[in-house]
Each structure stands twice: as structure tokens, then as C-alpha cells.
Structure 1
Amino acid sequence: MTDTLDPLSRRKVVWLTLSMTASVGLPPTLVGTGDLFQLLRDGRPRTRGELSSLSSLARSTITARVDALLSCGLLEPVGEAASTGGRPPTRFALNRHGRVVLAIDLGASHATVAVSDLSGAVLVQRTIDCDIADGPVVVLDCVAEIGRALLAEIDRSRADVAGVGIGVPGPVEHATGRPANPPIMPGWHDVDIPARLNQHFDGPVLVDNDVNLMALGEFVTSWQSSQHLLLVKVATGIGAGIVSDGRLLRGALGSAGDLGHVQVAGAPADVVCRCGNIGCLEAVAAGPAIAAKLRRGGLDVEGSQGIVDAVAAGEIAALQAVREAGRDLGTVLATCVNLLNPSVIVIGGKLSEAGEYLLAGVREVVYQRSLPLATHDLRIVSTSAGTQGGIIGASAMVIDAVLAPGAVDEFVAQRTA
């Protein structure tokens, strides 16, 4: 059963919980229904006897709590264990199909909507062209309509939605789900995104910066063994998501990781960024800046995809421009490496599809200018989650929230009242 589950169901936080409880057990006073449920989130089937050993709870208490989780649809029976005499005991595991999660990834010019199960496996997905500058009413109503269509496609209803996760291309006050002066999202400042989406879907609506969710998606799919990760998205803009000690760092107002507006040493004095400052990393190394530079040199290139295509075609000017952008990015990341000491830097976004040319420029400067101790075990790699990172991260964010001990206790109480 474990091998059939999506890797997201075996996130490191669950592994750590299991390893601790398996070695020392949990005091009965600390194990409620939600706490007991955490022992089954890894997808490994367990019997009531095994749960009793792990939690130190009496078999009668285990039976009552397992029955409550079964009646709420959070657990399901998955066969029987070998008998040691008498009737074989039943095993139970997470019912990953019991409820679904709606995951939304908004970019500057696109929107991806997906429905996943409780293990994080994507069941159905759709991507459309969508201009974030059209404003929150148009964009949110559009993705809500797509979400309803996707639910209908897999015969699920609004009541089946455990929660909604959405990433937006700008800083977000995570606690309230409201964007905070996002530069490329006119009309979105302080908009109550959760309230708007709760008109269409039940469950909590969690909002975060799109790069944060890309970092979370990358972490849970490929880098569970690395507690310190820096994900850098290089596309129309440049931003970073920071994972430290296995947790996202968002900052006081959600603007942590805004690398795009760090000044690049030696940048031309006439390079004005859309934020109004001069010499920002985004103004010299993001997709539009590279494309403009190539056009000035006579190469007809539009946007990040055009740059990737030119690199794939072997255009020398494009290869040189992308590598130079990597060096500019590396200049800023060298400081980040000294400050944050990540174990891995993941380069994502459309320009990461340019292959090793961007990475080579980044590595060239980072390994040269960062402290030797900070780069001793540092890996600088391209994204493995690719364009799915934001969707995977949005789904993981919601799953960890709705399957947390307190949330499970509340859900069980509501269903059994």
C-alpha cells in the first residue's frame, strides 16, 4: 500500500513524527484523535494493536478513536494482518480519496488549477492564459469556475473540498491571505482572497506567494533530506522561497525572498526597474531584460520562452546573455549563501529551461564569492518539480493544515456531533 502512494504522503514532518513516536511512544494525555491520526498519515497500514503500542493508549481508547476516524472518512480498512491466533486483526490507513484539495497557481500571464487527493496526487488539472492585471474579481471568478468544472469532471462536489491553496505572484500576508502592495498585481492590494473563494468552495482558503509554494513543492517532492533549501524562480520576475529547518520563512509581512529588487553591483546606471529603483537584479537578469538586450543586438526574441527557444537553437548571443544573467544572479545569491547557509539552491521558472547555461553562470560566481564553509556541501541544481512545483506546494500547504491534529479533532467533532 505504501508504495502506491504519492511521495507527498510521506513528507518529512510525518517521518519525524513517526520516528519519534515509534521510539519513545506518546503519553496518553498528549494523544487525541488528531494526534493518533498522525501515525497513519504516511500511508502505512497499521492495526489497532500497533497503534496502541505506538501511542501507549489503551486498546478501548484506540478502538473508539479509530472508529471515529473511520466514520468521518479519514481512515479506511486495508486488509488484515497475519493472525497470531484467532481472528486476523484489521489494518487501517489514510483514506486519501476521502476528500480533495483545490490547488491554484497564478502567474503574471497564466493560471493553473488542479484537484488533488489527500496524499497530494493530482487527479485533474487545467492551465489557461490569464492576465493577473485583469484584477481580482475577473481572475478569481475565472479560476473558481475552472475549479467547479474540474470537480464535476471527477464526480466530486463542493462539500468534498477539504481546502483551497492558492499562490499569487506577489507578497502576501499569509495569516490573512491578503496581498501586500504586489508590484505586478494592480488592484490586488489588501484584497480578501479567502472571502472571495469561500463564496464558491468550502474549507479553509490558504494564500501564499507563488515562489514560496514552488519552494515547498520542491522540498516535499525531492529534498526531504535537506532541511535548508533556497528556491529561485527566474522568469518575468525573480523571487525566492526560503525553507529553513524544514519550514517556510515568510518574513514579517510576507516579503521574504524578494531577490528581484536587490541591487546588482556594477549594473548600468541607466537600468531602471519597474519598482523605480536603479540596477535591480530583475531589471538586468529577468526574462524581459534579457530579451530586450538580445533585440538590441539584432536577435528577434520575445519573452522568456523566446529566450529558451533561442538557447535551444544554439544562438550564440542567447547563450552568452543567459550565462551573463546567471552571473548577475550568482552575485546576489553569493550573499544569500553566506547569510542563510542553504544546503541546496534550486533554480526554477521558465528560464531554468535554458539548461546548464544559466546554472553555470550562477555556480561560477557563488562558489567563487561565498565562504568556503557555506559552499562545502552546497548543491546548485535545476528544478525537478518543474511547472508543477506551485501546484504541489499549494496542495501540500492545505493538506498539512487540514490534517494537523487540531484540525482533525475539530473535523471529527463536527461530523460526530
Structure 2
Amino acid sequence: MAEDHAKATHSVVREHNLTSALQLVLSGEGLATRASIARRTGLTSATVSSLLARLIGDGLVVEGSLAESTGGKRATTLRVDAARNVLLSVIVQPGLVRGAVVDLLGDVVQTVAHRTAATATVEDVRSVVRRLAAATTARVVAVAVQVPGIVDADLIRESVQLGWVDVDLGRELAGIVSAPVHLVNDADAEAIADYAISDEFGANQLFVSLSTGVGAAVIVDGDVLAGATHRAGEIGHVPVLFGEDAPLCACGNRGCLEEVVSVTSLLGLPHGADLEAVDVAALAALPESRERIAAGARVLARALLMVGAALDVPNVVLGGAAPKLGPDFIGHVRAEAARHPVRAAMPLSFRYAKTAQEQPFRGAAQYALQATLGVSWAR
């Protein structure tokens, strides 16, 4: 029994050391050496050489050129084999499923897009995954699928935007490629991507994604909170307007936050409209849109005052398509929050997300990379 425990402990320690070595190679950007990894980890040279032999044998790491001389024998540099190992990152939206082949450095190699006649179906997602798999000859390390809705392991518990309830998407996609499939909520994915490249707001922040819907991700001490039932951040269907004249939401209720502050609502577009196909900035500049944007910003700010005070998270990042609305929208949000200070709570700070628009596939890919190999793209 003791011998089995010792073997299990040794195996756990070795896997941890393998992950640490791979992370140092990844973040070393081609300059890491066996000696530098030994110094950073405190492991012996022999142990590090054994770990690197395993990673090289697994095809994840390759040797590069000789490092700069430090007076003795020049060491050989190490880098991840980004070209021969990729991730498939898929984003599911009501009228559009798009995907990308992403290498291990986070760079997009190939993209595909599939517009749907109606709400996206599981077969639409399968089609995009198949097209991505056919577009690369590299080994697929993992498949990441970003969806609007409540994600619980392989299940989509509920997606109001997609009309999905208890869809076992992991099972539906299994077998297309011989790699694990990881599902992630869209706001969580966007928050992961943004947090990975910016430390401006520190380790505690609320990421609010505004697009065809409204979702949020709560980051506390650098980790995205899942909640008791994987529903943390599901604020889109909380009623904020009341009465029979409140707008009817797709969920069946009236006056939901999503019907007031989603970008489609702010621009006067129909529910589920494809925001990739319209000029958001131009529509936002129209007089009627400016009125809705100002009113929506006031509602959003008031809602976030409650959320920020409840969670003690003072920093709010607005993502999704919100940055395309320009400075007026976030200016209105800041002004409204400042007009109603919450006693005993930290004042809220706001900024737009920096990654989601330019690198939309990075968040889901980062999630899958962490879940599969235990490493991440360093800030």
C-alpha cells in the first residue's frame, strides 16, 4: 500500500515538473535552455534533461540554436514546436459559427466561417470542426468551443441565444479529431484572453461581454469563478425594467438586462442579429442609437454597482462588441456610476477589453491549452 502511494506521489510530482518545464520553454520565447530551467525550478540538471527528453519525445519541444556564450560551452536553446502542434478554436453565435487553427504560440494559422440560415445547430459546429481539422496537417492538441450559455463540463446546460438545453456538445464532437474537447462560456473565454495580456486592472475584476447577449465573468485572485452550478456571471436575464411596457426578452421574461444593454438592443437591431455583418461604429453614431446608448449605459452602470459591491470587485472590463460603440458609451457608464457612489464599497473603474475584437479565438484556445497541457501564454 505504501509502495503504491509512493509511486502515485512520484507520478504526480513528475507530471508537475513536466508542466513547469513546458511552461518555461513556452514563456521563454525560444531562449530557454536546460540550465535556465534547472535554475528556475531548482531541479537537478539530470532531472531537467530527463523532463526535456520526454517533452521532445512527445513532439512538444524542439531544440533550437546555440545560446549566447556565458564563458563556457554554449547551451542549446529550446522552443515549443508550434508548427506541428495546434489547437482548434470555435466560436458559436446565433447566426454564425467560426473557427481557427491556432498554434501553440497563440497565433492564428487558418480561419473558417459558416453562416447559418437560422440559429446555429450542433451540426453547424461539427461542420466547422471538420473543416478546421481538414485545414491542418499538424497534430491537434485540443478542441475549444466557445458558446453563449451555461457550460458544465461537456454539457451546454442552457443557452437562451442558441435555444439549446442540456446539449452534450462534448459527446457530439468526440471522434472528429483524436483530441480532447473543451467547452467554455463566451464571457469566460473573453475574460481569460483579456486578463492574459493586460495586468492594468490586477487580479480582481468583472468582465462584462455585450454583443447579441449579455454575459459576465468574475475573476478573483486571477481565477475565473464557476459558481455553485457553473452559472457565475449569468446576469443577462436579470430583470432591470418592470411593467407591461418593458421589452420582451427571448427567455420569456420582460425587461431583462440583455434586452436593454446588449449591443443589438442598443443599436435597434433584431434579436440575434449578426454583429459581424454590420458597421457597429456607424450605427452607434446615429441619433436614435445615441439615445438608446445613453439610456442603456445608465441601466448597465446601476446594475453593475450592485454586482461590484456584492463581490467586492472594483474593476469592470467591457468586452464583446462593446468597444466598437466608442468612447461615448463607456463615458456614460462611468458618469452614471460616479453619480451614485455606494457607501462602504470601492468605486468602480471601467475600461474596454483589449483582445477580444482583434484576437477573438485566443480565449477559448487559452482555456483548452491550460486544460490539456497545464500551460498558458504568459502576459
2:295 — aligned with what?
324
Residue matched to 2:364:
394
Measured in 2, the distance between the counterparts of 1:30 and 1:203 equals 19
Taking the TM superposition and a 5 Å limit, the aligned residue runs for 1:11-410 are: 32-44=17-29, 45-83=31-69, 87-130=73-116, 133-136=119-122, 138-151=123-136, 156-157=137-138, 160-173=139-152, 175=153, 177-186=154-163, 188-223=164-199, 226-264=202-240, 267-271=242-246, 272-292=248-268, 305=278, 308-312=281-285, 315-371=286-342, 374-376=345-347, 378-388=348-358, 390-404=360-374
Whether the 8 Å CA contact 1:215–1:389 is kept in 2: the answer is no
Going from structure 1 to structure 2, the CA distance change for 1:56 and 1:218 (only over 3 Å counts) comes to closer
Relative to structure 1, the CA distance from residue 327 to residue 101 in structure 2 (aligned partners, 3 Å threshold; closer, same or farther) is same
Partner of 1:410: none
* 1:373 CA displacement: 6.3
Q: Percent of aligned positions with the same letter in both sequences?
A: 25
Does the residue aligned with 1:241 lie in a helix, a strand or coil?
strand
Counterpart-to-counterpart distance in 2, 1:129 and 1:320: 31
Q: Is the 8 A contact 1:100 1:115 kept in 2?
A: yes
1: CA distance, partners of 2:53 / 2:224: 35
Q: Pick which of 96-105 and 120-129 moved more.
A: 120-129
- Report how far residue 227 of structure 1 moved: 0.8
Q: What one-letter code is carried by the residue in structure 1 that aligns with 2:186? A: D
Contact map agreement 1:104 1:166 (CA 8 A) in 2: yes
Amino acid of the residue matched to residue 253 of structure 2? N
* CA distance in 2: counterparts of 1:362 and 1:256, whole angstroms: 22
Matched residues in 1 for 2:245 and 2:211: separation?
Answer: 22
Q: Which has the higher helix share?
A: 1
Helix, strand or coil at the partner of 1:399: helix
| Aligned equivalents of 1:379, 1:346: Cα separation in 2 | 8
2: CA distance, partners of 1:351 / 1:161: 32
Equivalent residues of 1:170, 1:209 under 8 A apart: yes
Deviations 1:161-197 (A, max 9, x none): 0001111111111x2x2111322223x3222212222
* CA separation of 1:355 and 1:55: change in aligned 2, threshold 3 A: closer
Matched residue type, 1:41: L
Deviations 1:205-260 (A, max 9, x none): 00011111111111112337621222212222211122221111122222211121
Aligned residue pair count? 357
Cα distance in 1 for partners of 2:200, 2:81 equals 23
SS at match of 1:39: helix
CA distance in 2, matches of 1:404, 1:394: 14
User: d(CA) in 1 for partners of 2:72 and 2:284?
Assistant: 68
CA offsets per residue over residues 81-134 of structure 1, 9 Å max, x none? 344565322222333334100000111121220011112121222333236734
Deviation at 1:372, TM superposition (A): 6.2
1:262-312 alpha-carbon deviations (Å, 9 max, x no partner): 221x544422322232322122333454455x99xxxxxx88647643333
CA change 1:368–1:66 in 2 (3 A) is: same
Contact 1:323 1:360 in 2 (8 A): no
Counterpart AA for 2:87: V
Q: After the TM superposition, which of the residue ranges 38-47 and 113-122 deviates more from structure 2?
A: 38-47
CA distance in 1, matches of 2:288, 2:129: 43
CA separation of 1:347/1:90 partners in 2, compared to 1, >3 Å: closer, same or farther? same
In structure 2, the CA distance between the partners of 1:344 and 1:70, relative to structure 1 (3 Å rule), is: same
> What's the CA shift for 1:321?
1.3
Change (3 A) 1:172 1:388: farther
Q: Output the CA distance in 1 between the equivalents of 2:47 and 2:162.
A: 52
What is the TM-score when the length of structure 1 is the normalising length?
A: 0.77
After superposition, the Cα gap between the structure-2 partners of 1:373 and 1:217, relative to the gap in structure 1 and judged at 3 Å, is farther
Whole-Å separation in 2 of the counterparts to 1:287 and 1:89: 53
- The 3-state SS of whatever aligns with 2:179 is coil
Structure 2 unaligned spans of 5+: 1-12
Give the residue type in structure 1 aligned to 2:50. A
TM-score norm. by structure 2 comes to: 0.84
